[in-house]
Structure 1
Amino acid sequence: MPSLRKRVAGFMRQLSVSNLAAAVENIGHGESSPRSPRNVPQDLPGGCFITRYLNGLEIKMEGPVILHGRNPEELPSYPLCTLDNGEEVFAALTGPDLGLTTVNLKQRHLSISDPDVDYIDILEQSDHERTGTTSDGEIACVSDWFRPHDLAYGVATTLYEKNPTTNINNGEPIADCFGISARPKAAVLGLADGVNWGPKASIAARAAVHGSIEYLNKALFSSAPGGGVTTTRDVFVALLRSFHSAHSLILQEQGMLTTLTVCAVLPLLRTNSGSNCRTERYVACTCNVGDSLAYVYSRRTGVREITQGSHDIHCMRDMRDALGALGPVDGSNPELNNLTLSMTEVEKGDIVFLTSDGISDNFDPVVGKFAILPTNNTASSDKSVKHEGQSRTRTRRKSAENLRRSDSIGSSNSGLPVVEAYQRHELTLLRMEDLLRRGVSGEGPPCDNARRLCELLLDFAVRITAAKRRILEDPDLYYAQQKDGHMIQLSKLEQRNRRKKMLEKISMVPGKLDHATVVAYTVGQYTESDTNL
């Protein structure tokens, strides 16, 4: 068991900011603002991956190719192993709290008319009917949604501060939702991030995950004899139709907007395997809209993003824009500008994982305060926003009085390296990779299963945002002391004004406050002894 000092030192290695610990300790203890972070690679024995990358000494290793397109015809069609309809789900989990099980309680027929949703073919009547029904005792085709496993796991939490006047975290309820169901040689993962705050956003996320996973479980594993899914092209058709079911269920449940990423991990058929499908070749097929992303972690090639085709990695992204969403964005229609199908081959032992932006953005080098944007980025970004705003509806996230603008750059950061958009993307992947390969301490062992990956990523997000929470939980922002020593609660307006004055201090410490969710699956073909852990 590493000592506390060693664990803190390891986390500092990940943060690459030598005086952050002191800055956190000084918040609320008499110092007007934390000392400015500085880039000090000489303080890190042997240099860290950030320094090596920016000095050209570290290159992001390439893994298997990632293909993407807007429709199934743009992607190759690979044959799949026959999926055994009799295979039992050995692990299933949803969250937070009761997750997807809290919606579609009446299992109503999904017959909402949406002729303007033209991104897929209209479902056949038989498919439509199957989507609206389920077996007795099952929810989204799974009888027990609370069977976590080291090989199939997910977790969600809030990174927002706790309001001292209510003792409740801001942003409640958590607007993310995840679901995963795993069989001996296949799995379906889904993750949604409700846009903005409130019950309607939470309902949208839960409905999206419920609708999409229910459809896929039926389409992939409950098909009629002689039919069903036999190629990756069939999988992508099913993925698009699952998004139709997700959107319909959001409207049925009267939810608002949400991102959605769904991934099916399936075994590929080897050309010389005949009827034997014992294989170490698998494919991860994803569909996503919005800014919830999918990744693969390989101990051989590191971390790569499956969904990178859904956003331009060579342009700076506005983190307050979800880029797209299901739900009633325009009337009853979704916003599908960045809806993307993606695929990549994965190997046994690889870990496929989905994250909300509360996880992925906290690995960003600019959010982490060890790099800054080019000085002309703000102006060019504003022009881009203005241009895009004229051509489409933007799914903007709640800014919460701009206190949570994670891309705010103070003048004190001038000593940090400048990174271009593609470097931000690669450094984000390298930072994830460094954590998963070496752990917080830098001495490993490497992450080897889905549960451990989820725990590591979430722990990192919680730690890197600790300073922001500590600033915003200062009682002086909410209470005033009278002459007799009694504390009285300030008015809402005065509380808001005091929080606004903390903007500069908040912008100087790393991290982005958000809801944070990750769900993961360890790729493989498992026997009963493997799954009975």
Structure 2
Amino acid sequence: MEDEFVNRIHLNGVYSVREYWATLPCLEISYLSEDIQNALTGPDLGFQRILASEDRSSLLPHVAGTNNWSLADEGFYGVSMSLYDQNPFTYKITADPNADCFGLCKRGNNSVLVICDGVNRGNKSRMAARSAAYGALRYINAHCFEQGEQPMNTHDIFALLKEALMAAHACVLKNVHWCTTICIAFIVPLASDPNTHAVCTINVGDSYAFLARRLKEDNSQANFQGDVENQEQFLIEELTITSHDFSKDVGRETGGAIGPVTPSDEPLLSNLTYSMAYAQQGDIVFLTTDGVSDNFDPVVQRLQSITRADSDGGQNIAVDVNSLNLKDRHAVSLQCMQVALNSFSHRSGETLTASSLCGELMRHALLMSQDKRAVLEDPDIYSQISILNRKSIEKVQKSPEVKSLLANTRGKMDHASVCAVTIAHQPPQKATINKLSKQPSNSEGESFSLRRFTSFSKNGARNYKKKRASKLSLP
């Protein structure tokens, strides 16, 4: 049964393995453009907060060659928010600060996305997530673009991603003694067809990567209910599928984190996963933390039953959600996500973009968790407290009565984050010197950034041509 599941993933163009990438397809890729188009990090300035204000202008170019990390648009977007309650008396939001962090950078024909979720709560958790995102993006920029060591094929990409993950781990150890999950995606064009992209991902923990595939007009691959005639539809697939262990009854816990997990400060790579998928123009790649993905779980949503074909493939029957195994629960989660995203086009008549995808996922997560917030934001449950302080409020929230109320409501409160990129048509790229260096600068920070671009663009083109002449697509 498990083999059938793996084969089905491969037929859909998704390959996912644990521990090592050698069994994944090794495909030659095009020369990677170095021109920055968009860069974004968050929430609350994201990993920019780990840099002192006086150092920010000089250090940020090392991350991805730019000082401006607020360049979002419809096809390039990220958002993060807290799903936790706000106390009706103190007005403080539980579990602040937000311990998620994302960063993404888009160049002419390639994009890098990273998302992290600090373990537990507090300032250390937030610093761990920010440090990991910063460390990963900085490493990829330095080794792939600044030093001119451009990857030749998808196996080179996976080697780079593993090194970036370990660089993120080292950055966490340097800045804070704490742990975080991490998921990194590198979207690159294939040499055989620049309009076909390979989406290469690596992840540890329960931060995941997904692909929204734009379907053909016949919608034959769609599998959801509702009147979708003449509406553009997307098929949702998880790229990091192998990071889940469906053979064990462990719920949605996947394990794994970077940072000082072990006594020797080593990361826990128990679910380290490498994945690759083919993507086309109009497809959307997006990463989420578990605050988003868990709220699509049918058990978390408290769905009573789902309709599915019987074992003979004939008449549809109602199936109790609580009777589903973990693999089936996950499949239903993806269908629920698919319904939520496709409902946007059906409701608005507009094409789903990276921006609207982020908005729809957040809308769903807020809707699912609102009943739990309503319980904890009800002033009446605190009526017996004579002195309002953190300890007395937590005592009420952990009381059997309140726990019972929460247990009977749907959804999950957490920090929720998503970042996304729409894959656009790109003309063939040539290994030429970056023309951005000829543009005038408006500030000392920009001038510094452009000088760095000039330097590594020349080296990148030269080294790339040498590698092309000396090796084939296989490493």
C-alpha displacement of 1:62: 6.3
C-alpha displacement of 1:299: 2.3
In structure 1, what is the equivalent of residue 323 of structure 2? 418
| Matches of 1:204 and 1:93, distance apart in 2 | 18
Select the structure that is richer in helix.
2
Question: Aligned with 2:22: secondary structure?
Answer: helix
Match of 1:324 among 231, 247, 256: 256
| Matches of 1:152 and 1:251, distance apart in 2 | 30
> What letter matches 1:509 in structure 2?
T
In structure 2, what is the equivalent of residue 45 of structure 1? none
| Matches of 1:294 and 1:107, distance apart in 2 | 35
> What letter matches 1:80 in structure 2?
I
Residues 218 and 491 of structure 1: CA distance in aligned 2, closer, same or farther (over 3 Å): closer
Q: Which runs of 5+ in 2 are unaligned?
A: 1-7, 216-220, 222-234, 307-318, 428-475
The alignment status of 1:143 with 2:50, answered yes or no, reads no
Contact 1:479 1:488 in 2 (8 A): no
In structure 2, what is the equivalent of residue 438 of structure 1? 343
| Matches of 2:168 and 2:150, distance apart in 1 | 20
Contact 1:436 1:446 in 2 (8 A): no
What is the correspondence of 1:375-394 to structure 2 with a 5 Å cutoff? none
Contact 2:209 2:239 in 1 (8 A): yes
What is the correspondence of 1:26-425 to structure 2 with a 5 Å cutoff? 63-85=12-34, 87=35, 89-105=36-52, 138-141=61-64, 142-224=66-148, 227-270=149-192, 279-300=194-215, 301=221, 302-319=235-252, 321=253, 323-331=255-263, 332-371=265-304, 418-425=323-330
Deviation sequence 1:246-281 (CA, Å, 0-9, x none) = 0111011014110000000000111xxxxxx6x321
> What letter matches 2:14 in structure 1?
V
Contact 1:372 1:419 in 2 (8 A): no
| Matches of 1:60 and 1:507, distance apart in 2 | 35
Residues 308 and 70 of structure 1: CA distance in aligned 2, closer, same or farther (over 3 Å): same
Pick which of 136-145 and 513-522 moved more. 136-145
Question: Aligned with 1:438: secondary structure?
Answer: helix
Residues 317 and 445 of structure 1: CA distance in aligned 2, closer, same or farther (over 3 Å): farther
Contact 1:438 1:445 in 2 (8 A): no
> What letter matches 2:349 in structure 1?
P
Q: How many residue pairs were aligned? A: 387
Question: Aligned with 1:343: secondary structure?
Answer: strand
Question: Aligned with 1:471: secondary structure?
Answer: helix
Question: Aligned with 1:328: secondary structure?
Answer: coil
Contact 2:296 2:337 in 1 (8 A): yes
Deviation sequence 1:378-432 (CA, Å, 0-9, x none) = xxxxxxxxxxxxxxxxxxxxxxxxxxxxxxxxxxxx9766322121111111111
The alignment status of 1:451 with 2:350, answered yes or no, reads no
| Matches of 1:513 and 1:183, distance apart in 2 | 35
The alignment status of 1:509 with 2:409, answered yes or no, reads yes
Residues 190 and 475 of structure 1: CA distance in aligned 2, closer, same or farther (over 3 Å): same
| Matches of 1:498 and 1:353, distance apart in 2 | 34
Residues 218 and 83 of structure 1: CA distance in aligned 2, closer, same or farther (over 3 Å): same
| Matches of 1:219 and 1:307, distance apart in 2 | 24
In structure 2, what is the equivalent of residue 5 of structure 1? none
Contact 2:128 2:180 in 1 (8 A): yes
Contact 1:159 1:462 in 2 (8 A): yes
| Matches of 1:180 and 1:504, distance apart in 2 | 41
C-alpha displacement of 1:369: 0.3
Contact 2:32 2:150 in 1 (8 A): no
> What letter matches 1:286 in structure 2?
T
Deviation sequence 1:306-348 (CA, Å, 0-9, x none) = 00111123544434x4501011111311111111111111111
In structure 2, what is the equivalent of residue 427 of structure 1? 332
Question: Aligned with 1:91: secondary structure?
Answer: strand
C-alpha displacement of 1:137: 5.7
> What letter matches 1:70 in structure 2?
E
C-alpha displacement of 1:476: 2.2
In structure 1, what is the equivalent of residue 226 of structure 2? none
> What letter matches 2:44 in structure 1?
D
C-alpha displacement of 1:447: 4.8
C-alpha displacement of 1:491: 8.3
Question: Aligned with 1:177: secondary structure?
Answer: strand
Contact 1:94 1:154 in 2 (8 A): yes
Question: Aligned with 1:496: secondary structure?
Answer: helix
Contact 1:173 1:198 in 2 (8 A): yes
| Matches of 1:217 and 1:134, distance apart in 2 | 17
In structure 1, what is the equivalent of residue 452 of structure 2? none
